Amino acid sequence: MFCTNCGKELPEGTMFCTQCGRPVEAAATPGVAPAPEPVPQPAPAVPPAPEAAPQPVTAPAPEAAYPPSAANPAPAAGPVYTEAPQSSPAPAYAAPQPAPAPAPAPTPEQPKKKGGKGKIVGIVLGIVALVAVLGVGGYFVYMNFFATGPEEVIMEDLEAQLADYSDPTSGNGDRLMTEADNVLSGLAAYPSPGADAYEAWLEDSSFTVDGVVVADDGDTATATATVTHAPLIEFVENHEGLADDPGEPQETTLELTYVRDGSSWTADGDELEEAVFTAYLPSDEELIISDVDSYFEADDDMRSGFIAGLESGSGSELGQLGISADEFADAYLDGYGYEVGTVTVDGDTAEVEVTVTIKSYTEIMSTFESNFNAWAESVDPSTITSEDQVYQKAGEMLMEAAQAAEPEAYDATLTFSQDSSGVWWMDSSSEYELMSILGL
């Protein structure tokens, strides 16, 4: 018998097609017209095959269903069916499905790889890190090869400023020389130099910028420089022929504050000028010492001044005594000297400690008077032939007293005051004290 659905040849008595699973209808009788095809009904659920029924064997489906023939007679019982034409509707039962292939054995679960988004995030982070490293490297290249640090900026600026002040032909150089002359003009012994003296003094000077220290806040810095120059007073006096020595070069430290404004560093102009003037020009202590020097003067100058004073005030008397001012000055100033000690400046007042070594004029006069009076009492008047003989004897005894006197050291504290122009003046009380020491 054959399956009327798929044409599978089936053993007699088979209730279901082993190929398509359709219930087997009664076999068609040869020569009998088939009964009208029944109206298609919804496909019922295919009942499971009985336990006793053999398991279906999968076989390839025939290319076409073959109708019963004389060689293959269909069973006589039941109505006869013929295969429906190709154009007839599909049977009510579902088409057979091939048996599913055996499921593959499960494989061990592999670690899940990052998804596309995670991979992109990782790449982005890597690029960011790379750019950050490149930025740091670029910063060091910039700092080492292109950028100028604040220390270098400040040092270059200070060098330019000091070079301008030390140039006699520049505006600031001329201001420095003018200020130098203003300072010297306030001295008791003003040398009255020409402009060439100050120009030579500036040209003989030099400077170095020592270093810059930037504060922790990064907004301020302190710059220091050293100015080397001859002492102004001595140099000018030597230039004008008033002194034999221009003085030993002296070093003065200049300290200046710089302030940052954005990427610029600047110093206050007034503070800069004051710092430069302080470095180049004599200090208050130097000015006061110069004034003290002018009162005591060097040995030669003291001698000249003393002689001039004697000649103007007592020249005729000395002549009458038969001695000259030079002779008396040599005897009186033998062993003369002075030493300036501590100078203490307190605002516009100052004190100077000095030690003067000189013969006591008072003692010389006292000795002379005592000796001369003793001679006058002891002399035989008959031996005096003229007044000139008495004056001559007095002159001799005065010189003997002056030559025999020993120099003594006198300590004094002199006071000075500064006026509104910055000039220091010795107080009158100190002048009287000096006059007393010098016997004037």
* pLDDT the model gives residue 340: 92
Among 111-125, 317-331, 400-414, which is the least confidently predicted range? 111-125
What is the per-residue DSSP string for 328-384? Answer: HHHHHTTT-EEEEEEEEEETTEEEEEEEEEE--HHHHHHHHHHHHHHHHHHS-GGG-
Q: How far is 244 from 239, CA to CA, in rounded Å?
A: 9
| Res 167: pLDDT | 93
Residue with tokens 């020097």, as numbered in its chain: 293
Tokens representing 286? 């130097």
Q: For 310-328, how does the pLDDT look when each residue is reduced to its tens digit (9 = 90+)?
A: 777 777 788 888 888 889 8
Tens digits of residue pLDDT in 94-112: 445 555 555 555 555 555 5
* For residue 257, pLDDT beyond 60: yes
Residue 39 has pLDDT above 60, yes or no: no
Instruction: State the Cα–Cα distance between residues 193 and 198, nearest whole angstrom.
Output: 8
Question: Does residue 375 carry a pLDDT above 50?
Answer: yes
Of residues 64 and 276, more confidence is placed in: 276
Q: Cα separation of 250 and 88, whole Å?
A: 131
Encode pLDDT of 177-236 as tens digits.
999 999 998 887 888 999 999 999 999 999 999 999 999 888 999 999 999 999 999 999
70: left (phi over 0), alpha (psi -120 to 50) or beta: alpha
Contact 238, 244 (CB under 8 A): yes
Of 128 and 390, the structure prediction assigns the larger pLDDT to 390
Instruction: Give the model's pLDDT for residue 69.
Output: 45
